């Protein structure tokens, strides 16, 4: 039984009550106050996804920036706010593919211990539980990046971003059966490396602060689209 339209007895949040859906509705309604919250909600997640897919921090930050620019440039094309997360990661996936083709960095499958998040800089200053959490994150992050690309792409969307099988299939242009098969294999690979479930993964790597001129460009794109939507209703 649902309670107040916000969730079910298992604690699952109804789609229309999810923060990203509420923000998408506000943006589509022309509420510019939702802009900063939308950027803050998605930017780190897009960066983490891109970092694990592209293998370089510089590439991941560019992908996150390009993704959000395209999101705000095309926000009026979002027909179903309930699918905003899948829509955003469809754009991010395409940006990652373009980055992998043009990057001055060769995409890497091996793990560099020099990458951000690969080491704990001052483990002695952290509580034991915090050290263990960081170590688990680093091992799991490395294990994900070691997966072959076709398995990594499915795992990140399904288990890290928690998109549905159908949404993942649409983003990756695969059948749902292929998504299910690759997910099972990816999970087995992770467990073989770590003896730990993927569900314990929580993104920790963060992008550098967004430059004000880039944020201004994003806001300008959004406002231009909002103005166009307003004229189209007349």
**100-114, 140-154, 205-219 — most confident range:** 140-154
pTM for the model stands at 0.74
Q: Give me the mean pLDDT over the 207-227 stretch.
A: 86
pLDDT (0 to 100) of residue 1: 35
pLDDT (0 to 100) of residue 120: 31
Give the largest Cα separation in the chain, rounded: 63
> How do residues 16-55 score in pLDDT, each as one tens digit?
678 999 999 999 998 989 999 999 999 999 999 999 998 8
Distance, in Å, from the CA atom of 16 to the CA atom of 224, rounded to the nearest integer, reads 26
Distance, in Å, from the CA atom of 106 to the CA atom of 158, rounded to the nearest integer, reads 26
pLDDT (0 to 100) of residue 135: 65
How many C-beta neighbours within 10 Å does residue 145 have?
Answer: 20
> How do residues 57-71 score in pLDDT, each as one tens digit?
889 999 999 999 999
User: By the 8 A CB rule, do 159 and 187 touch?
Assistant: yes
pLDDT (0 to 100) of residue 13: 57
pLDDT at 145 over 70: yes
How many C-beta neighbours within 10 Å does residue 186 have?
Answer: 23
CA atoms within 13 A on the CB side of 226: 19
| pLDDT averaged over every residue in the chain | 79
Fold designation for 15-107: Rna Polymerase Sigma Factor; Chain: A (1.10.1740)
Of 3.20.20.100, 1.10.10.10, 3.40.1410.10, 3.40.50.300, which CATH number belongs to 116-202? 1.10.10.10
∠ Cα 213 93 220 (to 5°): 25
pLDDT at 192 over 60: yes
Domain boundaries in the chain? 15-107, 116-202
pLDDT at 134 over 70: no
For residue 13, give the 3-state DSSP assignment: strand
pLDDT (0 to 100) of residue 99: 87
CA atoms within 13 A on the CB side of 32: 12
User: By the 8 A CB rule, do 53 and 202 touch?
Assistant: no
What single DSSP character describes residue 3? B
Distance, in Å, from the CA atom of 234 to the CA atom of 201, rounded to the nearest integer, reads 48
pLDDT (0 to 100) of residue 18: 87
The partner residues of 13 in beta bridges, in order of sequence, read 7
Residue 233: pLDDT band (50, 70, 90) is low
């Amino acid at each position: 039984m649902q309670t107040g339209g916000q969730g079910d007895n298992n604690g699952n949040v109804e789609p229309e009550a999810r923060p990203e859906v509420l923000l998408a509705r506000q943006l589509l309604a022309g509420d510019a106050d939702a802009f900063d919250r939308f950027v803050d909600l998605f930017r780190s997640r897009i960066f983490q996804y891109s970092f694990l897919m592209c293998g370089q921090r510089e590439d991941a930050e560019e992908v996150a920036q390009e993704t959000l620019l395209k999101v705000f440039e095309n926000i009026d094309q979002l027909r179903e706010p309930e699918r905003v997360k899948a829509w955003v990661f469809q754009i991010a996936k395409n940006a990652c593919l373009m980055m992998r083709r043009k990057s001055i960095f060769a995409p890497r499958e091996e793990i560099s211990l020099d990458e951000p998040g690969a080491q704990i800089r001052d483990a002695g200053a952290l509580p034991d539980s915090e050290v263990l959490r960081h170590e688990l994150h680093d091992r799991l992050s490395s294990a994900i990046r070691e997966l072959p690309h076709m398995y990594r792409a499915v795992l990140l969307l399904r288990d890290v971003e928690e998109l549905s099988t159908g949404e993942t299939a649409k983003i990756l242009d695969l059948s749902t059966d292929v998504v299910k098969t690759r997910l099972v294999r990816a999970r087995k690979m992770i467990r073989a490396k770590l003896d730990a479930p993927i569900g314990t993964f929580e993104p920790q790597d963060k992008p550098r602060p967004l430059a004000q001129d880039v944020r201004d460009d994003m806001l300008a794109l959004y406002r231009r689209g909002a103005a166009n939507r307003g004229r189209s209703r007349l």
